[in-house]
Structure 1
């Protein structure tokens, strides 16, 4: 996706740091299901962002599934998975828990700000992730 009117250099930097953190964690046997996508800043005013297939914002899920992420997971599950006690595959829940843990640690350490439901995404296989890293290292538009 081409994005104009936004400086994506910080997003590019944060994504590169996420790749490094993910590699370190995996080296020690910890796969926290981070969703890594590419960002390329072309200038201080535009750039390219890779789409993450089958992902939806928490804001959209809240609106479309009566505030329950469980409904989103059930709706996107196979017929076989819907017959489980959860109504969806347990692997989806495991992915969600692992990725929430990973991104919680990362956003805290990097001091990522401007977090709201439009910047929080979930894939249909349960992987939670963040987008839009315009405010890092303690910067936050709400603290101005």
Structure 2
């Protein structure tokens, strides 16, 4: 959880930990310039494993990176009682559970862009995974050289 350091409403939360109402997981409360005090409550639920901006906040504040998705878009063991649910069904269930517990004040629509797969047009979920990269310069030089030598 995070608030803008200039937002006076949350100065009293410095150094505290907040408990997620549905999972019981405790999260540190941090202050970060990225948080817009004018948006919603002015508090941001930081999810470093599933949002590139939150990932940067997490790096700045050494926050745990907790992935809650399986590769197939279902919720993994980190999602506790939501494990096995499809991501869309999980979102509906979370809203129901928040309402039932009296933890949901209101729902507001706001515009945002959801990434889509260029082939099948399904929603793409940000997901941290190990990646590797190949330096191509040397390989390309050798390939070009081989092609040129073969032409001569």
TM superposition score category, shorter chain reference: under 0.3
Q: Which has the larger radius of gyration?
A: 2
TM-score by length of 2: 0.25
Structure number with higher relative contact order (C-alpha < 8 Å, ≥ 6 residues apart): 1
The structure with the largest helix share of the pair is: 1
The structure with the largest strand share of the pair is: 1
